[in-house]
Each structure stands twice: as structure tokens, then as C-alpha cells.
């Protein structure tokens, strides 16, 4: 039975819950079944992951969705061409504030219901009140400048009338340090993935005020980034890896595997956090603080709703936000790089032999599906959406110029 | 300008390693070297120190924060970029392999930075080697202890001489293609489970 592995693949990951599909692929046997010896390496910063991908220590890695774009667009040092053949899931982040900020928001009409519009309006009122009183601007943290966290925090604030560059300060803090920074008052709030929101609530030092799944339902978060040169030289290894990740993601989505999955991630080599604190990400049942519990539909999807499909419209939306916040100019050359970074063609060709349902298109109009909608090819069923932005905006990747022109700071 | 005129900041949570690098830089004639172990309040420190070169260990989880700050912070007056020269792939690999990275202010010539990076790489490697040797020595000591205990168990339970007990351990290890220390550990564990409580 012991078949020698045909492919050896080295993968980097950060200790975050949404590395679970990659971790389970290695630890539950999905990679081995595809003839892959998957070597997982835990890293301490996204910069290390970027550097080790660039010099070839890693073939692939768990990455922030916009990070391969930033690498391919040359926005970072040691940038190398990085492609995205697989998405590691949808949703999973929250916005958490300190108890003091929550009290201020509550005084301006916030309720513990996660409603992004209501929470945003209250935060905006608090920020203006503080500014009028001559107080320091609030300081929010995100994990990286090229992250879904940075863009969704800014999107939310801007839509609620807060200029994220002028009215608050945004700093970078590594995820495991967020709760401590909040508790000690070095930051007033943050946007981060689980379990670092539930951890602050459990410690009694923070309140969850809204979640990614309500800001933009079924929105992209982490991806598999692959060094383009490696992917081109090793097409069979990459295809085998994508099939292993597909089976792993299906296993991770199955509620029957939740406790096994939480036990796996609890190991010190992976997340190293207690099982109980991982359950909110798995069940969507969140403790918001102050004894309030809320269930969020599609809070984190590792597999359902075509969660692993690397939509070009997701990459292009990230690109529009890089332009919006001044990280790069909108030029035909930059747009072309952004358009080529996510690779649904590789996903499709790897999964074709499995006969599973695949989306018919490479991009979609984001925010267009108001209800769950069956789509798909290959004779199997696939359900997408609902996928709306909380402010009712639509992102049509075919009308990207108009979308970029219509974006404002506030 | 002499080597000593550059201002260098070393950010490393590992105090021993940091002091080894600091000593190396001073030996090379650098007089303006500052070492920081804790990144709290680092923007202010950088504004005060105005470093030309920043050396940082890759284990530091604050690297993303620091990179962002080098690019954006109002406190950091001069733009600081990662020390990267695409033509020098070997140098980049050596640095990442050693676990160190360097950032420099805009406009500094490569020839002035290269010796500093090379110094940091060699000192990081020396430190890793030292830590590895220390770990090996520690585990060697542990191994010897457990082998002695296993020998004692065999001498007592099977009436063997010390030499014969060791020969038996070695033969078993060879037959099973395992290390003597592993066989000894298994024996000590088994004896603990089966026999009377050892040593109370």
C-alpha cells in the first residue's frame, strides 16, 4: 500500500484558522492520496512567506488574497510573480473594538446586532464627537496593508462617512498580538480573522461590532499563492495539490468533522489555540461580548458556494481598492497584471477529472445575486450567493473604469 | 566616509544574538550601533536614531508592521527600503537562510551596505551553529543518562555485567535499526509500567 510520493511540495502557512484547508490536506491524508508529500512550514510574518516564495524555499503558501497581486504588481520588496490557482475560503473576519469605544458607539445608537450600517453610523458619530472635542483620532489595526482586512475596514468606514486616511489612524499589528494591543489601549479596534476576535470577547476586553460576511457576503479572504515559475515547471504536482485541497475543503465544511478539525488546529504546530475558541469560526455562532450571541449565515465557508474558485472578479475588486487607497495607479498595464493573477483555468483543468460542479464563467458581477442561485456546468449542481455588499453597491468587472471613477475616500 | 559613520539599528528579540552582532559591527569599526529588543514605541526610536541601516531577525512577527512603517510613518522621515539587489540572488538567499533581513535608507550605495549584511549573515549563522551544538550537547547528556538507567535495569533483572547490558542494548538497536538511546528509553518506560515504582 505504501506508494512512494510522486510529488514533494513545500508550503508555508501562518497560524490562522483559515489555513485549515491547507493544514488538513497535509494532516488528514488528502495530499498523500494524491501522491504528494506535503511539507508544511509555519511562518511568523507575511513578509517571511513572501521572501521564502520569492527565493524558492516554498513552492506554494497560504496568503492574503491581495498579496499575490501586490507581489505581481511589484508593490513589495523581493516581489516575484505569484499566481492564485485556489481560494482557501470565503469570509471569516470580524471588526472588534475596545469596550470604551463600544460604550461610545452605544451612546450614538449602536446595538449588538452586527448591522454594518448601524454600527458604522454610530462609530462615525463617535469619531466626529471626539474630533470636535480635540481628542486623538482612534487607532485601528489590520494585519497587512495588502489584505482583505485593510480593504474591508476602509470600505465600511468610507461607506459610513468616515475617511480612513484622515479621520482615524490605521496601523499594522500581527494577528496574535491584536487582543493584547486592544487590552492595553495601544489600539482602539481592529479587523482580523478568527479566532482573534472571539479571543478578545472571551477575555472581556473587546466587542465584535460587525463581520466580513455582512459587509460583503461570500467575499474572498485567503488564497493559495504559487510561485509562477514553479507552477509552470510542475503542472502535474500543482494539479494534484489542487485536487487534494478540494477534498480537504469538502472535509472541512462537513459539520461531522468539526471537533476533529478543531483538535487538529489546536496542536501547537498549527494554531496552538484551545478548541473551544475555534468553534465560532466553524459554526458561525459568535459571542459579541456582554453576553450577546448572534448566528451569522455563511460566516466562514471553506468549501460551499464555490468557495475555492479563484474568481477573477475577486482579484479585480482587490485591485480597485489598491487604486482607491493610493497603493498604485490605475493603468492598462497594472490592470492586465491584476487580470492574469488569479487562475481559474488551472483550477478548472485540475478538477475536471473529478466530475465536480464548476462555475461556467471566470468572473462574476459581485453583489448581483440577491438570493442563493443554482449555477454550474458539468451536469452537477452548484449554488452561489447571496453575495451583496452591505451598501448595495455592485461591482461589475467589465465596467471597472466606471467603478474606480465612482470610488471616493468618503 | 569611514565605516564608522553609518548609523545602524539592530532589532532582535534574542538578546544574546543581538549582542553578538553588535560586537561584530563594533569590531568592524562601526561606532553608532543601537540594539532594540522590544518594538514597542519603535517609530519614535527610529525618528531619534535616524538609522542608515536596520538589521532585523526573520523570526520577529513584527516584520509586517515594520515594513509598513518604513514606507508610511510620518515619524520615519527618510524612506527606508528593504536591502534587495536582484542581481545578487546569492546574497538574498544567504540572508533568508541565515534568518536575517536588512533595510536601508534611500540612496545608500550597495558597497557600503554589503559588508554589514555579510557580517550579520555570518554572525546569525554562527549563533545558529552555537545553539545547535548546545542542543546536541544537552540531548547527548540526556541520552547518556537514559542509557545508564536502562543498563541498570538489565543488570538487575537479568543479572548481566555492565558491559553485557550495554552490548545487549546495542545489538537490539542494530537489529531494529533504531538508536541505542531510543531502545533504552523504551526499556525504561516499559520497566516503569511493569515493575515496582522506580525510585518511589
Residue B4 — φ and ψ, nearest 5°? -70, -10
Mean pLDDT score, A321-339 = 97
Q: Which domains does chain A have, with CATH numbers?
A: 7-89+220-273+301-352 (3.40.190.10), 93-215 (3.40.190.10)
Residue B124, domain member (yes or no): yes
| A111 confidence band (pLDDT: 50, 70, 90) | very high
CA distance A110 to A90: 26
* pLDDT(B88) > 90: no
Pair B145, B81 in one domain: no
CA distance B142 to B153: 17
Burial of B81 (0-12, 13-18, 19+ CB in 10 A): middle
Q: What is the pTM of this model?
A: 0.88
> In this prediction, what percent of chain B has a pLDDT beyond 90?
48
Q: What pLDDT was estimated at residue A372?
A: 86
CA distance A232 to A59: 11
Pair B15, B58 in one domain: yes
* pLDDT(A377) > 70: no
CA distance A89 to A309: 9
Residue B94, domain member (yes or no): yes
Pair B126, B147 in one domain: no
Question: Looking at residue B100, which CATH number applies to its domain?
Answer: 3.40.50
Of A78, A144, A186, the CB nearest to B64: A144
Number of structural domains (chain B) is: 2
Peptide bond into B180 cis (omega under 30): no
Question: Looking at residue B142, which CATH number applies to its domain?
Answer: 1.10.10.10
Among A17-21, A286-290, A335-339, B192-196, the range scoring the smallest mean pLDDT is B192-196
Strands A7-13 and A60-64: parallel
Mean pLDDT score, B167-183 = 93
A109: left (phi over 0), alpha (psi -120 to 50) or beta: left
Residue B60, min C-alpha distance to chain A (Å):
7
Q: What is the pLDDT of residues A227-265, one digit of tens each?
A: 999 999 999 999 999 999 999 999 999 999 999 999 999
Residue B20, domain member (yes or no): yes
Chain-chain contact of A78 with B89 (C-beta, under 8 angstroms): no
Torsion of the alpha carbons at A216, A218, A222 and A227, rounded to the nearest 10: -110
Q: Which helix (H) or strand (E) holds A140?
A: strand A139-142
Pair B173, B157 in one domain: yes
Q: What pLDDT was estimated at residue B74?
A: 60
Among A60-64, A393-397, A405-409, the range scoring the smallest mean pLDDT is A405-409
* pLDDT(B2) > 70: no
Cell 464563467 sits on residue: A361
Q: What pLDDT was estimated at residue B86?
A: 59
Pair B153, B170 in one domain: yes
Domain that holds residue B58: 3-132
Residue B199, domain member (yes or no): no
Q: Which residues contact A164 (CB under 8 A, 6 or more apart)?
A: A153, A154, A157, A158, A170, A325, A409
Q: In whole angstroms, how far apart are CA A41 and each of A11, A293, B75? A: 6, 35, 35
Task: Name B105's bridge partners.
Answer: B80
In chain A, whose CA is at the least distance from the CA of B103? A77
Pair B103, B173 in one domain: no
Residue B200, domain member (yes or no): no
CA distance A52 to A329: 27
Q: What is the pLDDT of residues B95-111, one digit of tens each?
A: 889 999 988 887 777 78
Query: How many residues comprise chain A?
Result: 410
Where a domain ends, among B110, B132, B154? B132
Pair B56, B148 in one domain: no
Task: Evaluate whether B13 touches B59 at the Cβ level (below 8 Å).
Answer: yes
Strands B32-36 and A60-64: unpaired
| A2 confidence band (pLDDT: 50, 70, 90) | very low
Residue B31, domain member (yes or no): yes
Pair B85, B26 in one domain: yes
Where a domain ends, among B117, B132, B147? B132
Q: What pLDDT was estimated at residue B60?
A: 92
Q: What pLDDT was estimated at residue B76?
A: 66
ipTM above 0.95, yes or no: no
Q: What pLDDT was estimated at residue B200?
A: 39
Residue A256 — φ and ψ, nearest 5°? -65, -20
Among A132-136, A252-256, B49-53, the range scoring the smallest mean pLDDT is B49-53
CA distance B60 to A54: 19
What's the CA angle centered on A53, arms A262 and B72, to 5 degrees? 90
* pLDDT(B197) > 80: no
Q: What is the pLDDT of residues A335-356, one digit of tens each?
A: 999 999 999 999 999 999 999 9
Pair B113, B141 in one domain: no
Within a 10 A sphere around the Cβ of A134, how many other Cβ atoms? 6
Chain-chain contact of B64 with A52 (C-beta, under 8 angstroms): no
Residue B44, domain member (yes or no): yes
Pair B143, B126 in one domain: no
Task: Name A86's bridge partners.
Answer: A224
Q: What pLDDT was estimated at residue B199?
A: 46
Chain-chain contact of A174 with B64 (C-beta, under 8 angstroms): yes
- Pick from B54, B61, B89, B94 the residue to mutate for testing the A interface (most A CBs within 10 Å): B61
Q: Does B89 touch chain A (CB under 8 A)?
A: yes
Q: Name the 3-class secondary structure at A213.
A: helix
Pair B103, B147 in one domain: no
Q: What pLDDT was estimated at residue A238?
A: 98
Residue B41, min C-alpha distance to chain A (Å):
10
Residue A337, min C-alpha distance to chain B (Å):
20
Q: What pLDDT was estimated at residue A1?
A: 40
Pair B150, B123 in one domain: no
Q: Report chain B residues whose CB lies below 8 A from the CB of A53.
A: none
Where a domain ends, among B132, B160, B175? B132
Amino acid at each position: 500500500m505504501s506508494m512512494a510520493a510522486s510529488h514533494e511540495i513545500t508550503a508555508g502557512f501562518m497560524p490562522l484558522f483559515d489555513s485549515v484547508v491547507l493544514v488538513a490536506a497535509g494532516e488528514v491524508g488528502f495530499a498523500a492520496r494524491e501522491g504528494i508529500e506535503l511539507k508544511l512550514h509555519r511562518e511568523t510574518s507575511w513578509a517571511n512567506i513572501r521572501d521564502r516564495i520569492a527565493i524558492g524555499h516554498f513552492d506554494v503558501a497560504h496568503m492574503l488574497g491581495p498579496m499575490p497581486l501586490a507581489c505581481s504588481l511589484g508593490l513589495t520588496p523581493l516581489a516575484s510573480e505569484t499566481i492564485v490557482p485556489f481560494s482557501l475560503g470565503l469570509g471569516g473576519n470580524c471588526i472588534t473594538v475596545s469596550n470604551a469605544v463600544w460604550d461610545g458607539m452605544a451612546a450614538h445608537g449602536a446595538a449588538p446586532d452586527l448591522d454594518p450600517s448601524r454600527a458604522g453610523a454610530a462609530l462615525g458619530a463617535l469619531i466626529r464627537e471626539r474630533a470636535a472635542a480635540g481628542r486623538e483620532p482612534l487607532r485601528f489595526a489590520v494585519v497587512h496593508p495588502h489584505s482583505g482586512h485593510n480593504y474591508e475596514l476602509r470600505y465600511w468606514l468610507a461607506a459610513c462617512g468616515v475617511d480612513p486616511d484622515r479621520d482615524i489612524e490605521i496601523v499594522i499589528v500581527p494577528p496574535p498580538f491584536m487582543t493584547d494591543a486592544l487590552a492595553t489601549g495601544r489600539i482602539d479596534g481592529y479587523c482580523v480573522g478568527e479566532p482573534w476576535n472571539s479571543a478578545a470577547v472571551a477575555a472581556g476586553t473587546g466587542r465584535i461590532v460587525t463581520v466580513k460576511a455582512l459587509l460583503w457576503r461570500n467575499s474572498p479572504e485567503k488564497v493559495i499563492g504559487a510561485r509562477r515559475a514553479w507552477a509552470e515547471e510542475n503542472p502535474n504536482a500543482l494539479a494534484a495539490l489542487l485536487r487534494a485541497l478540494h477534498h480537504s475543503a469538502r472535509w472541512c465544511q462537513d459539520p461531522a468533522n468539526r471537533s476533529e478539525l478543531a483538535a487538529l488546529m489546536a496542536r501547537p504546530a498549527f494554531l496552538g489555540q484551545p478548541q473551544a475558541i475555534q468553534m465560532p469560526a466553524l459554526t458561525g455562532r459568535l459571542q459579541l461580548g456582554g453576553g450577546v450571541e448572534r448566528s451569522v449565515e455563511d460566516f466562514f465557508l471553506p468549501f460551499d458556494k464555490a468557495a475555492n474558485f479563484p474568481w477573477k472578479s475577486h482579484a479585480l475588486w482587490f485591485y480597485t481598492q489598491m487604486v482607491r487607497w493610493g497603493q498604485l495607479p490605475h493603468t492598462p498595464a497594472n490592470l492586465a497584471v491584476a487580470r492574469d493573477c488569479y487562475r481559474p483555468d488551472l483550477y478548472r483543468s485540475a478538477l475536471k477529472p473529478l466530475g465536480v460542479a464548476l462555475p461556467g464563467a471566470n468572473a462574476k458581477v459581485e453583489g448581483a445575486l440577491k438570493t442563493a442561485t443554482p449555477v454550474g456546468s458539468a451536469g452537477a449542481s452548484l449554488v452561489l450567493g447571496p453575495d451583496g455588499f452591505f451598501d448595495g453597491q455592485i461591482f461589475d468587472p467589465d465596467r471597472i473604469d466606471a467603478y474606480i471613477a465612482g470610488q471616493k475616500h468618503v | 566616509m569611514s565605516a564608522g559613520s553609518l548609523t545602524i539599528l539592530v532589532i532582535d528579540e534574542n538578546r544574546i544574538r543581538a549582542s553578538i552582532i553588535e560586537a561584530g559591527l563594533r569590531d568592524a569599526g562601526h561606532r553608532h550601533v543601537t540594539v532594540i529588543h522590544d518594538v514597542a514605541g519603535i517609530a519614535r526610536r527610529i525618528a531619534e536614531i535616524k538609522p542608515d541601516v536596520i538589521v532585523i531577525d526573520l523570526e520577529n512577527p513584527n516584520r509586517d508592521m515594520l515594513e509598513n512603517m518604513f514606507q508610511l510613518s510620518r515619524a520615519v522621515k527618510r524612506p527606508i527600503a528593504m536591502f534587495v539587489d536582484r542581481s545578487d540572488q546569492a546574497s538574498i538567499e544567504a540572508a533568508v537562510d541565515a534568518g536575517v533581513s536588512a533595510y536601508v535608507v534611500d540612496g545608500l550605495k550597495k558597497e557600503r551596505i554589503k559588508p554589514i549584511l555579510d557580517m550579520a549573515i555570518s554572525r546569525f549563522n554562527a549563533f545558529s551553529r552555537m545553539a545547535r551544538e548546545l542542543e546536541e550537547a544537552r540531548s547527548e547528556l540526556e541520552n547518556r543518562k537514559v542509557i545508564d538507567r536502562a543498563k541498570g535495569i538489565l543488570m538487575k533483572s537479568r543479572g548481566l555485567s555492565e558491559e553485557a547490558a550495554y552490548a545487549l542494548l546495542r545489538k537490539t538497536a542494530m537489529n531494529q535499526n533504531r538508536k541505542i538511546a531510543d531502545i533504552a528509553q523504551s526499556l525504561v518506560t516499559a520497566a516503569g509500567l511493569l515493575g515496582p515504582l522506580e525510585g518511589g
